[in-house]
Structure 1
Amino acid sequence: MRNKTVLITGANDGIGRATAERLARKGAHLVLACRNETSAQHTADWLVEHTGNRNIDTLPLDLSSLRSVRDASEIFLADYPRLDVLINNAGIYCESLELTEDGYELQFGVNHLGHYLLTLNLLPAMQCANICSRVINVSSALHTKGGIDFGNLRGERGPGAYDGTAAYAQSKLANILFTKELNRRHGSELTTNCLHPGVVGTSLASKKGKFFTRAIWSLYKPFARTPERGADTSVYLASSPEVREVSGRYFNPTQCLVKPSPTACNEQLARRLWEYSETAVRDFLL
């Protein structure tokens, strides 16, 4: 991974931080794209000290704001000649209806729409890499419980009808549909894959979960996979020569190819989601 530039969203915590550490030890030039700039800088300093890799930069990025995604994209393209690996890792889970700055349901906006815009805006840096660049989308096995409700992506049905788990599953399904459609449209220029990291003991379920969810998660968390193990497949997809020419596929926590749900393989749905997303972000495309 030496001389390779890798951008990781949500790299200051959980799986993202563990992924960053592993790739830093492999010699990659890392860009930690995070909403909390102070935490990102602390992580960068820690990585420099503990891995000996001084090529660790930070990039302010709030995926709940399309304006922030556009601004971060502009900064990256101005500062870096190419991007070898983009890891769309950041994610959020919430049990009550919240909206992004642009009026989209928060989990859909952060987990899918922000990453969609970031990826499209950074395509010029990936298309000019010396070898085929890689896009890696962190999804979840919960995508099997999801569908895309185009009539409720802005929370139109109101807070009383909101199901946080269903919204999370929807966003993770969107990650896979995006992976497949990006591969269809740009498969000759880069590779795009997605993964389920396993049930990992991160703070995902406790940040915006209700009291009961936080309590249950605190009991289960010690038995979950560690973030270090949760990073295994992201690191594999980012660095292994075995997947240099593999694209449009879904991997499990043990780096095996598996088939996602039938809904995730629906080409018509993938195209419709792409078109919806493109319209949603059009004012922020570079």
Structure 2
Amino acid sequence: MSKWTRDDMPAQRGKVVVVTGANSGLGYEATKTFAEKGATVVLACRSVEKGERAVREIQQSVPDADLDVRECDLASLESVRVFTEAFQEDYDELHVLCNNAGVMAIPRQETRDGFEMQFGVNHLGHFALTGHLLDALHQTEGETRVVTQSSGLHERGRIDFDDLHGEDDYDEWDAYAQSKLANVLFAYEFDRLLDEADIENVLSVACHPGYAATNLQRRGPEQSGSTLRLWMMKVANAVMAQSAAQGALPMLYAATAYDVAGGEYVGPGGFMDMRGSPEKQRSSDRSYDVATAERLWDVSEDLTGVEYDFGVRATLDRDRDR
């Protein structure tokens, strides 16, 4: 098992990084580490107030941190579009996009665009964000990366194309698992399409944090009003979970390690893949289903209205195969 740590992370001075959900948990820890390594980090947050609070906290230990908080609500396609347009007006480069933000096992809700919240935020919001930023990634000199945060629970997931938004039958954990499987399917299909289009400088990588103690686990029990579930989550976090700082390592490894290639999957290599140092792993068999990935991609374009501009070759190849 590798022993990769933050000390092994290459210097990031001169790099521009976007991290979604950067104000807390894994996103906060990743942002702090990118800043320590010299990167300019754009914190894409639903709450600017919480993002600014995170900046103040980071600057206490990294006084020269170059941090820029911007509103980006992944539950709103309009918010995603506005964020990306403003970003591209102010920045000429984008070296790393960390699709990190997410919601987990919450009672059924809908985004502003009518999508089931977990599928809408965890997958469709990031799908739209990445599509809007593809040109910025491609036009940046040198290698750039898109890192999409999944979960070990993606192994439970199935893509229910007949009821993607849980309108007929909703289970909060099944919906979460579906969204996390969608993350991996997206990362792999994105890598394939980049390869078909001969876009060699952009890498698409998937990762998962194992079991890390963050606020993510609390939101479902809090929103459902389940005191028992909230207590059980707190106990499990205290006994079993690794820290958020440790849980952020797979994302940081996927974003910066020299030996990472497109289409790979990174997670902690310790006990049951729930903790430990990051390593390359194999995701679930369903995550490698190309037909499902292609169908999900097409559905995602239709739902978001965001079509990726890969150039002529990828478009022709995709149309020919249909």
**TM-score band, normalised by shorter chain:** over 0.9
Q: Which range moves more in the overlay, 109-118 or 251-260?
A: 251-260
Q: Which moved more, 1:68-77 or 1:205-214?
A: 205-214
Match of 1:193 among 192, 202, 205: 205
> Percent identity between the aligned chains?
37
Secondary structure class of the residue paired with 1:53 = coil
SS at match of 1:58: strand
Partner in structure 2 of residue 265 of structure 1: 288
Counterpart CA distance in 1 for 2:167 and 2:286 is: 23
Structure 1 range deviating more: 88-97 or 207-216: 207-216
| Distance in 2 separating the partners of 1:94 and 1:102 | 20
Aligned partner of 2:314 in structure 1 is none
Aligned match of 1:171: 179
Q: Kindly report which structure 2 residues correspond to 1:42-191, keeping only aligned pairs within 5 A, or say none.
A: 42-157=53-168, 161-187=169-195, 188-191=200-203
Correspondence for 1:222: 238
CA distance in 2, matches of 1:146, 1:154: 14
Distance 1:99 1:74, change over 3 A: same
1:248 partner letter:
G
The answer for the alignment partner of 2:6 in structure 1 is none
Choose the corresponding residue for 1:38, options 43, 49, 60.
49
**1:12 alignment partner, SS class:** coil
What is the alpha-carbon distance in structure 2 between the residues aligned to residue 120 and residue 282 of structure 1?
10
- Secondary structure, aligned partner of 1:87: strand
- Quote the Cα distance in structure 1 between the aligned partners of 2:278 and 2:65: 29
Distance 1:67 1:265 in 2: 31
* Whole-Å separation in 2 of the counterparts to 1:170 and 1:155: 10
Structure 1 CA distance for aligned equivalents of residues 94 and 56 of structure 2: 22
Q: Secondary structure at the match of 1:260?
A: coil
Mean CA deviation greater in 118-127 or 189-198: 189-198
Residue 285 (structure 1) shift? 8.1
Closer, same or farther in 2 for the Cα pair 1:285/1:133, shift >3 Å? closer
Contact 1:6 1:83 in 2 (8 A): yes
TM-score when normalising by structure 1: 0.94
Is residue 32–residue 57 contact of structure 1 (8 Å, CA) maintained in 2? Answer: yes
Correspondence list, 1:225-240, <5 A: 225-240=242-257
How far did 1:215 drift?
1.7
Q: Which amino acid aligns with 2:95?
A: D
Whole-Å separation in 2 of the counterparts to 1:218 and 1:263: 31
Q: CA offset at residue 49 of structure 1?
A: 3.1
Task: Give SS of 1:134's match.
Answer: strand
Contact 1:95 1:163 in 2 (8 A): no
CA contact (8 A) 2:38 2:65 kept: no
Q: Structure 2: which amino acid aligns with 1:240?
A: A
- 1:94 Cα offset (Å): 3.2
Residues 208 and 251, structure 2, Cα contact 8 Å, conserved in 1: no
Deviates more, 1:204-213 or 1:27-36: 204-213
| Letter matched to residue 273 of structure 1 | L
Contact 1:117 1:285 in 2 (8 A): no
SS of corresponding position for 2:278: coil
In the alignment, does 2:262 pair up with 1:247? yes
Q: Distance in 2 between matches of 1:151 and 1:234?
A: 32
Unaligned runs of 5+ in 1: none
- Kindly provide the CA deviation profile for residues 18-54 of structure 1, in whole angstroms up to 9, marking residues without a partner as x: 1111111000100000001101011122223321234
Matched, 1:278 2:297: no
Please tell me whether the aligned partners of residues 195 and 251 of structure 1 are also in contact (alpha carbons under 8 angstroms): yes
Deviation at 1:233, TM superposition (A): 1.1
Greater shift, 215-224 or 109-118, is seen at 215-224
**CA–CA separation in structure 2 for the residues paired with 1:86 and 1:74:** 15
Consecutive unaligned residues of structure 2, counting only runs of 5 or more, are 1-11, 269-276, 310-322
Moved over 4 A (4+): 283-286
Task: Output the aligned Cα RMSD.
Answer: 1.5
Counterpart of 2:112 in 1: which secondary structure? coil
- Are the equivalent residues in 2 in contact too, given 1:47–1:53 (CA < 8 A)? no
Q: Is the 8 A contact 2:142 2:201 kept in 1?
A: no
TM-score w.r.t. the length of structure 2 is: 0.84
In the alignment, the residues of structure 2 paired with residue 40 and residue 104 of structure 1 have an alpha-carbon distance, to the nearest angstrom, of 25
